[in-house]
Amino acid sequence: MPTIIDGKKISQDIKDELREQVRLLKEQGKKVSLAVILVGEDPASCVYVRNKKKACEYIGIESLSYELPETTTEEELLTLIQELNGKNDVNGILVQLPLPKHMDEDKIIKAIDPAKDVDGFHPQSVGALSIGLPGFVSCTPAGIIQLLKRSNIPMEGKNCVIIGRSNIVGKPMALLMLRENATVTVTHSRTKDLSSVTREADILIVAMGKRKFVTADYVKDGAVVIDVGMHRDENNKLCGDVDYDDVAPKCSAITPVPGGVGPMTIAMLMYNCVASANMTNE
């Protein structure tokens, strides 16, 4: 049977390490603070934001909450971001996505000071990652690297296949895997004969957004499978993009859903906030 990669435990370890770092920073008179902006009342976003604030509280990060009505104008949101950019005691700014349709997400993300871009979505952060300069890294792919490292799974020289090319997961994942010296292939909805490509993977990372799409036929014997998906199955149980019961017996290691990649995203957001505080002299 495969090793089940325990994202709940690994994310807890990271949060405990950060809690200690924040305690030490406080001893030096420095505090860490994150501004969390939510526009509207999208139910999933409300849950994410609540969980982010809870994680802040656990670690000792001050969270400044801005819950704005759906009717907020782009101008008003930009003004708030500019105000937060100028506050030396705010280390991170997080604008929960998706934004209401009347707002231009790219314009909003670009307004965030890259030094406070703890989501790693600003074009400057993405550009820095692509050429190996320091900068914030998108939290889900950064969390996947931590899952692999902390499970002692080597990446150097391995064939890594990624399904999905989103700006938030697939693309930054490919760049991070290159940084770890893996040989990387990015596949997507137009890829021909997908399973023949994925069967070459030593490490298969699935972020395609299709419930239980990846079956045993897509996986090489002994592969490591990382599932970024999050869905409800026919019995309303949480499941991923990978058909876990079918795939798990073939793997050397696999992430479950829930309890795999999911908890890592918030842990890495907290990591970015603490890193941001460490980079300022406030």
Residues serving a catalytic function are 52, 96, 119
DSSP of 44-79: HHHHHHHHHHHHHHHHT-EEEEEEE-TT--HHHHHH
Alpha carbon dihedral 13, 17, 19, 25, in 10-degree steps, equals -170
The DSSP string of 179-223 is HTT-EEEEE-TT-TTHHHHHTT-SEEEE-S--TT-B-GGG--TT-
Residues 129-148 that bind ligand GUN (CB under 6 A): 139
Nearer to ligand GUN, 99 or 251 (CB): 99
Element (H, E) at 267: helix 262-279
**Toward ligand GUN, which CB reaches closer, 95 or 226?**
95
Of residues 147-166, those binding ligand GUN (CB under 6 A):
none
What the block records as the tokens of 42 is 């999208």
Query: Applying CB under 6 A, what is the total number of residues that bind ligand GUN?
Result: 7
* Minimum distance from residue 219 beta carbon to ligand GUN (Å): 26
Nearest residue to ligand GUN by CB is 97
Distance CA 238, CA 84 (A): 36
Measured from the CB atom, the residue of 137 and 247 that comes closer to ligand GUN is 137
CA dihedral 222, 191, 105, 276 (to 10 degrees): 30
Min dist CB 209 to ligand GUN, Å, is 12
Q: What is d(CA 2, CA 259) in angstroms, rounded to the nearest whole number?
A: 16
Helix axes 123-131, 170-179, angle to 10 degrees: 30
Strand partners, 224: 203, 253
Closest distance between ligand GUN and the C-beta of residue 200, in Å? 29
Residues 4-43 vs ligand GUN: string with x where CB under 6 A? ----------------------------------------
CB of residue 34 vs ligand GUN: minimum separation in angstroms?
Answer: 11
- Considering only residues 221 to 280 of the shown chain, the ones binding ligand GUN according to CB under 6 A are 265
DSSP letter assigned to residue 164: -
- Touching ligand GUN, residues 80-109 (CB under 6 A): 94-97
The answer to whether residue 119 forms part of the interface with ligand GUN (CB under 6 A) is yes
Minimum distance between the CB of residue 199 and ligand GUN, rounded to whole angstroms? Answer: 30
Which CB, 35 or 95, lies closer to ligand GUN?
Answer: 95
Nearer residue to ligand GUN within complex by CB, 136 or 218: 136
Cβ(178)–Cβ(139) under 8 Å?
Answer: no
Interacting residues with ligand GUN (CB under 6 A): 94-97, 119, 139, 265
